[in-house]
Structure 1
């Protein structure tokens, strides 16, 4: 069981759940409130482990010093804490309010000089049974007030100083007992004089004495400031404001006397002071001394405690002189802070300041002794003895420790650290108090090392947090001590397994209980905390069929599946409760559950889902399934859903299902029947899924009747035939059957195509099996049949037509129609006269190959030419034709070629008697005309009656034709363009064949046709784009740039004039004829850009114009200028690295300076490099 702790949880709310075992379980809940009562198990502790208040020593009675606050973790509404001063208040200087813990002063006056610190022990007690208490130390520091005036070591000083005879003569003093009378002249200046204080840096001269005063106060109240009234000696005597050393200047005469007043004043508020008298007499200096001084005890060693006050006698330096001379003593080294004082005439060494062992442990003072002539030196070694004036201090005010409860006994959990500034630094540690009394026995502190150990095992379930007050004290007398707090937080360890509240559980459940019905609840508790106490429940065994489930958090065992009494009527579950610790702990319990059947239970099918298979086309009445259900009374079966088209019947008494109609797999592949069974009490349902099995009763069908594809004649064997979308040509068919009945097989019917193509029997894809030749067979057309693999095997009623085009490739050479051509050329002839046209054919013509003709031999002097496209041979040089030229021609398709020969017989034409009416005919045509018009009509003379004369153009062109009998030359309707060709020279021949078979009669004439111009071209600017730069100091009239446009027309239509139509006409102008752009006025400012729009007009009746932008940038006169604004070049993509480009980028500096070139933009991938210098 878990230990209750009011401080951890004050109360608990429990929910009690009760449920009966009816068919429809009823339940009720009850809320129970449990309040945990308090037990006095926590010790009251003050908020701070130790208090350090302070209060002025002149505080009145009733002044608040400090308030102690204490906390008791017991939760008791009647709790009351009482405070008492149990130690450290013997004089009754303080009182404490027992209820509030407020400490106040009483009417007993505090005196810091008598007791600077009061250490009180305060005990806080609760009112529990038994009462618990703890003690806290309160260290009250009494603050100083200025309640003491300074005091001087002597009331009167008498000093003798030598006259000014020798600078090496020492000064000396004679100590007075303060009671003798000194006869001095009355110094009126002394009564009326003022107190003088001096800057230590301004002091000079020789010290004559030291006035030693002290103040029992501390701080500024005890800091003394010295001042002097010198009377008649003003200006001759000065005093050090801090040390009280009086200095004098040389220049005294023997017999002079001075009366001085020295004041010591503290720094308190109000200030207090004390005044002493100094008598100074000037005496004559001894002239000589035979013997130097001697010391009775040289180099003394003494000890002084750091608590000895100012004026304490350290030692006596005793010297003597055989001459009987007076001796004077002085500290000349080792006293840098002026902490010591020596009587100049007696040698008594006193403390001028209180020493501090923590500041300096030892002193080595050098003391001089002189008789006025001779000086000797001795060492005084002073050892400072430490007193216990510092309390030890912990390194931390609060120590925090987090530790698991499973840590072994004897383990060190913390090491306390404290330091002491005194000489004996040894400290001792102890456990002073604890919030819980149990903590005293659990923890142990090593008094020497400060190590905190576990004296007993921890138990978080008992105490989760321990508050300890630890003490450290030194070895001084009296000892000083200090306190700190240690907070130990105990973390839970998984050391408790879950515990069930009952050793065994039993439960009952009706067979008809729905899923989710609660059967029994198991409950376990864990004494750990957090994750270690978080319990999860699970069923580990006995849950046959997984009919039960358990809530992992609540432990409620519920029905998870439908129960079946006939299958299993009793279950013994093994339930495990496991916590979430690491490692996890667990416990188990047996849970016995009895399954019972209710009298009014509904029918129970053996299964909720049944399956059956039946072939399609079976006769009506075929058996499908027999349903079995359990019930305490008779059953009535009925199909209530899923019987589409009323295909099935169920026997209402036996539950046997048969067919009412023939099934068709292609119409419906399965049926989902919902069957209901009804008894006297209620109804139950189950599902019957009837799968219809396919029979091969459907033949396959092609998806289309014609399939088209193509394949290259160069394709390798095994290449796929492709469609026009470059996808594989696949013959497809569909079969409404399934499985094997729907698997299809394709086959080519004709024999010839099988030699070239193969169809994949499964996929229908067609591939080549032989090399194809377009020139032999360019098209294939065949048929494909398809059949399924069912039993019996069915084939499609129709076949699919397949058309495959063999794509031609250039694999055949072209051939001339004749290998040898013979023709006759009559002289004289003319240039461009056509002699003969040769023709060639290429079997690969479907590829679209263009044949090209050329003359490869026999054309000496290039007398003849052949049109590369048409094969027409023409005369190029009619004057140099030689007899019987033989030409060798070639025709090529770009890959293959062939040759032919042309034999030309050259004959001179005889005077045939035929001639034209004119020697030259002329005609004109307007360009762009497409109308067929007659250009000229040629006529011949000398023809006989009924002689048949035929006209032809010897240099034919697409632009003209001639009537063979009329001699009319007409255009063909092709558009003329004067800018392409402005003149045509046609050679016309008239030929009459002699009916007697003799030589033909021939005549020739020239017809010149001129193409007339129209304004169909606009001016075009050249050398684009136009960019110019101009210096800011350019003058009016200076040319900036020049634009130029050309017009392909002629005469007025081709004349060009220029105009500035937009942009800064006030600054620039353009010459109408030359296109020169000049300045109209001087420019202002640089780094500006201007854009001009200049138009070029031609001189046509309807002028045509073109516009162009001109960019002008004004630059500083020192800025370099490129010779062009744009540079262009073209390179091959495979150009070698570091190849120079064919552009030369040049710029000039107006000041003649050296230029450096660089690429500033556009070379993102660093593909180009530019020479910096060139």
Structure 2
């Protein structure tokens, strides 16, 4: 009994035994661990501030146990938490006191749930009892966190933003709870962190603003944080470019090099970035002569300045006016325009130019003295009189003073235009000099003077007083008869000392080309073959060719002979008279036996007509006789075919191969050769039985089948064909020669022919042999037993049919209409 450990007990002595009255009996009751510990509540919630130091008492757990024994009611406390690698609390095992083991942080962990166990200390571990409760530790917030800014410390706003425009949203966060985490902002228009403009901005006056923002929480005591906020004013394209000058003036010589800088402009733009980046362009008035660097503003020449030719802007004092535009790179560009005046200074920069660099003319050698041969001129693009005035002279090639130049002004309307006339001063002699090359000079009057030269090529024309001359009076050439048609054979050539058309020579064939085998090119003298040659038809040609000059009226001519010899070639291939040849040979002949001889024709003569023979390949691929050529060899000169091995008719009775005939030039012909092997009678026929026994009924009729004998022969062909014959003629029986069937030729009876009832055996001898005379043969015995059975055997109708074969006439007995034919065509 656990509630009272000691009690008085009244004892009744029913068995009347002796009891000492002076001593009262005492009884001790032993406690049993029959009560479990228990907590007053199954679940408790405990609050603790997050800033308490380590070791602070959080809560004391108390459980009770109603067992009476000390150990059975002594309790020990423990706890368990999930998801914690490090226990934030410790519990006293005897007193149940819960204390902090690590610093607490509500911003990391807001609450902790743990299970507390109370276990009694019964002696036997298996008898121990326990109970538990769940405790939720709520960590209370303390204002221990300073607000921190999460918004960017830099903000941007366009300079053209209106007053009151939103600039920046300032955001600060405080991880504390409640009022401790509520943040307000200092020095701003409101506590929500919205920054707005209060006056107009101008980036050109101030590019950015530095502000200090204070974020303050509502805790006790309050905590704060500051942030330096930079507000950058973004540029707007509100400033146009401005040139450093209102207009520009410069002068330049017209011989300035291409790509030279004439003037460099500068425009400023107070904006920044693309809005302040200035590019330059030409508006008009460039005449294709100038360009401007878009970045630097440098005006450069794009080609040499040409004061004399560009008349559209040339005056006595030529001036070029260019309009230059400066533009920024804003989305809507702003521009400025300025005027650039360029004065071009003239120089003598143009050399006179002849109309052509070379003049060519032809003069008859009998031209008159003082005759003006031709007029020439040069152009000078300079404008001033001295720079453009040109005079002419001969400076080379006139050693004999045969020619001179006269300078002439065109007329009063062109006082600066002078032309030159080439005049003949001395007589010409073509035989002494048929060609003259003069060098003439054109020079202006500029300072320094500029000049140019031209070449005059003068050809002296001659009279047609010289005939053509062949390089040889005879030409010899050898040509093969298979020379390709259309190919050149030889070229004839003639020359003429005349010049011009008088020396132009044409060629033609005068004789020897009756069959039109040749063509002579009129201009080149090249002789071509136009018809095939045939040595057997014509072995030589003799051609007479003529050369004619190109004189007007009477032409001068010359003649030459061309001898053409035709060379024979191997132009005939071998031929066989027939496309195929059949040869026969008997089997079992020894190797190297002659089979047959092949001969081909070749119409060429000499070595070209000599032929060689060879076996090429089999011509029976469908029969699988790919080794047919291996059974024979051939004499390459005589064309004789011989056996390599002994032939066996029974193994193969036909060979086919291709024979080739080839001449010295590898021209070939082929023929199909078929070798038919003739069989020899090597084997005796063999009957299927040595003796045949047949029963025959007593009642019989003529034409009745008695029985059939069968023999075979290992020979092939006709030697293997079997014929059957009775060795001794019989009055009652006959044998079919081809089938071996034995027939009754006439009826008979036992009584009529004295045959006993007990039966009588008749004996026949039948020979098997081939259709050939004196062929091998064998015999068999046929025993016919006359039976007294009254029924007769079934009769087979007999019909005789004759067919023809190459060796003899064979008579067949057709036993039945449906029986397959023994022979086929």
Q: TM-score, normalised by structure 2?
A: 0.45
Which structure would you say has the larger Rg? Answer: 2
RCO higher in structure (CA 8 A, sep ≥6):
2
- The two structures have a TM-score, normalised by structure 1, of 0.33
